[in-house]
Structure 1
């Protein structure tokens, strides 16, 4: 009997294919293959690619080095997504190349907000109170 993973998160295959797509995109960006004014001189990292369960859509989260012009870069990549799909298809060796959709990766920004919150006086005061109660 086959198990379904509807609420369990991504399957091993989804993770493996996402990593293949991520590496193919990173290599393509490093070579500077896409001709677009918004991408000229930009160093774009691909921290994560999330695949849909049917492997037909690859949601690629990207961030330019330094975080400058992230929205414009994502718009430029989405303008060229058909070319990108065709260029990475031979490298990922699937029956069908997934449609690639680009999004700004905001995980670093979120981590910064959490870090700032944890360092705030209010949280520090609460933590100090917890420490004094344990003594």
Structure 2
């Protein structure tokens, strides 16, 4: 049994290639400080959902996603040779809010633990 499906392996390659491209060749100020957190490829390898982690408000998130959508052609053209695929998947950029959710949970845990420690001291 294979430990990873072909879609999983290619997803990893796409994530690495886009991250490498971001660090070296992308100069759009809208996508600075954005992180590619994961890539999920459809089973037929036609669509790649690229999850982008961004810290900031809704306007910042919208600007980053617009920046990626505008650069989609450049990104596909740049990473296609690195992947060795017959067909390059269509890239769909999606905001990854898991980091925001984790930060909210962390804040809730800290506030709960602070409340408990206050009760112990009284």
Count of residues in correspondence between the two structures: 109
Which residue, out of 106, 113, 119, partners 2:97?
Answer: 106
Q: 1:37 to 1:46 in 2, by over 3 A?
A: closer
* TM-score, normalised with respect to structure 1: 0.69
Does 1:59 pair with 2:49? yes
- Counterpart position of 2:120: none
Cα RMSD (Å): 2.2
Q: Where in structure 1 do 4 or more consecutive aligned residues deviate above 6 Å? A: none
* TM-score, normalised with respect to structure 2: 0.76
Runs of at least 5 residues in structure 1 that lack an aligned partner in the other structure = 1-10, 126-135
**Superposed counterparts of 1:109-128, under 5 Å:** 109-121=100-112
Q: Which has the higher contact order (CA 8 A, sep 6+)?
A: 2
Runs of at least 5 residues in structure 2 that lack an aligned partner in the other structure = 117-122
Aligned partners of 2:83, 2:99: CA distance in 1, in Å? Answer: 27
- Bigger radius of gyration among the two: 1
